[in-house]
Structure 1
Amino acid sequence: MDDFAGTQAPIRRLSDPVEAIAVLESAVPGLASLRLPEARNVNWRQVEAELGTALPEDFKLLRELYPTFGLGDFLGVSGPERGHEQFWVQGMRSALEDVEEQCAQADLAVPLHPYPAPGGLLPWAGSNQGDFFLWTTDPAGPQEWTVTVASRSSVWWRYTGGAVQFLADLVTGAVEPWALPRIRSDVARW
């Protein structure tokens, strides 16, 4: 039976979305050059209503400030676009079917399930190799959600910080990239 490779924790969980973005910009120096000239003004109420849950503030701020981008030519971060929110939600529903399949194949000691199951997994990023980066939802609210990594090699692991902090820690090496390649700090629009 497969099980989690483990759990990694940040030294201090960043709860302020602005601070999390600043830490990511420091870890990925080229990111600031991709910053949009103005916030994209996504209709988050619509996204969250259609999805059935609020989303973490750090992710929403990241998506307001930056286009879809890739880190190290490996990990892609995307999100809703203003005026096309429903398409992102539809894509998320399709991705949840893939997550359900991954969960079923994982054969973990404690089975996992996609959102909307209690504590369910909700994808927020992916790799060009088929790895999933997921939130583990929490009834305490999206600011308490943590990250679960489901690698294409069937290694699953957890990170107890938020998504934006995870990206920064992954690039800087503060987090071991269990079953993933080292993520370089180069960034490009995807």
Structure 2
Amino acid sequence: MTTIDDLIALVPPPANPVDASGDWTQVEAGLGLELPADFKALISSYGLGQFVDFINPLTPFGSRNLLLRSAQRLLDSERPFREANPDDCPYPYYPEAGGLLEWAGTDNGDRLCWVTDGHPDTWTVVAWNPRGWYYDAHDTGAVGFLHGWLSGRLNTTVFAANTHLTAPWFEPFRELTHVNIKLTDGRRTYPERLRILQQALSPTADRGSHTRGEHHQDHFTATELGWNLAYETAYTHQIRIAFPPDDEDRARSTLLATVRKMGCDVLSTTTHRGRPVWD
């Protein structure tokens, strides 16, 4: 059985986790459910933040109270679709008996849920894509799912396999501004463009890469700046960057100058929600 110690050995937790502690008795009273011990250990160790810039555990502590907020709106948000399409909804939803209860989300809008049937420490995980209305059940708990997916030993049909990250990480929550810079191809090769980008932001630390044919994706962090970046041609040719809000002017001037050195032109600059920026 996978334990929190196994996950900690794979992904070191932050020294000072954000919103990681509080009154679990009060949380459980608010839900009307006892929660699994491994989830309590997960939140206590990692708190608010993201695994590999993708999976966000829902901490019940702090001003956001993400776990309870998600639980309170789940049934009402899904009821209209279920009434119209009952065959596409094989599970009940919290607070219905044995209903799905979300414990983490992804940047793609997917949900990781428990099937709240039986003793909490036996609850299993269902990965759920609300956009496509399909579900993928896994006979493991929250910590087991995370450890399996982050180590590349567990796959789900709901989102991509984690096969390209050599050293998975967790980043505690920080207020960051996210900008996507879409680019023309230019004449330089992808490795040349990546080298120019990393040199402009050095020193950098690798966070994993993936190559399939002509499609590339490289994750890295600018360690002294505290900026996180992904450079890719996997979906579109773009740079994705996240930086502290006070660094916006520096990020804008540095990235736009570097794009010119890479031999590319900027097609658009938007937030991760698609709003134009840096006009």
The TM-score by the shorter chain falls in which range? 0.7 to 0.9
| Per-residue deviation, residues 5-30 of structure 1 (Å, max 9, x unmatched) | xxxxxxxx44xxxxx111112332xx
Deviation at 1:144, TM superposition (A): 0.8
Correspondence 1:174 to 2:153:
yes
What is the root-mean-square deviation in Å for CA atoms of aligned residues? 2.9
User: Greater shift after overlay, 46-55 or 176-185?
Assistant: 176-185
> Contact 1:114–1:121 at 8 Å: present in 2 too?
yes
Q: What are structure 1's unaligned runs of at least 5 residues?
A: 1-12, 15-19
What secondary structure does 1:70 align onto? Answer: strand
Distance (whole Å) between structure 2 residues aligned to residue 122 and residue 179 of structure 1: 17
> Contact 1:69–1:77 at 8 Å: present in 2 too?
yes
Distance (whole Å) between structure 2 residues aligned to residue 106 and residue 72 of structure 1: 34
Distance (whole Å) between structure 2 residues aligned to residue 118 and residue 136 of structure 1: 10
Q: 1:150 aligns with which of 121, 124, 128?
A: 128
Match of 2:246 in 1: none
Which protein, 1 or 2, shows the higher relative CO under an 8 Å CA cutoff with sep ≥ 6? 1
The 1:130/1:59 distance shift into structure 2, 3 A limit, reads same
Match of 2:72 in 1: 93
The 1:96/1:35 distance shift into structure 2, 3 A limit, reads farther
Larger radius of gyration: 2
Match of 2:10 in 1: 27
Deviation at 1:175, TM superposition (A): 0.9
Which structure has more strand as a fraction of its residues? 2
Correspondence 1:74 to 2:54:
yes
Deviation at 1:99, TM superposition (A): 5.1
Correspondence 1:36 to 2:19:
no
Correspondence 1:159 to 2:138:
yes
> Contact 2:19–2:59 at 8 Å: present in 1 too?
no
Which structure has more helix as a fraction of its residues? 1
Distance (whole Å) between structure 2 residues aligned to residue 118 and residue 169 of structure 1: 28
What secondary structure does 1:148 align onto? Answer: strand
> Contact 1:96–1:122 at 8 Å: present in 2 too?
no
Match for 2:124: what amino acid?
T
Match for 1:128: what amino acid?
D
Match for 2:121: what amino acid?
Q
TM-score normalised by L of structure 2: 0.53
Deviation at 1:65, TM superposition (A): 2.1
Match of 1:60 in 2: 40
> Contact 1:135–1:147 at 8 Å: present in 2 too?
yes
TM-score normalised by L of structure 1: 0.74
Deviation at 1:90, TM superposition (A): 3.5
The 1:38/1:117 distance shift into structure 2, 3 A limit, reads closer
Q: How does 1:94-173 map to 2 (within 5 A)?
A: 94-98=73-77, 100=79, 108=87, 111-138=90-117, 140-151=118-129, 152-173=131-152
> Contact 2:110–2:158 at 8 Å: present in 1 too?
no
What secondary structure does 1:188 align onto? Answer: strand
Match of 1:189 in 2: 172
What secondary structure does 1:61 align onto? Answer: helix
Give aligned-pair identity as a percent.
Answer: 29
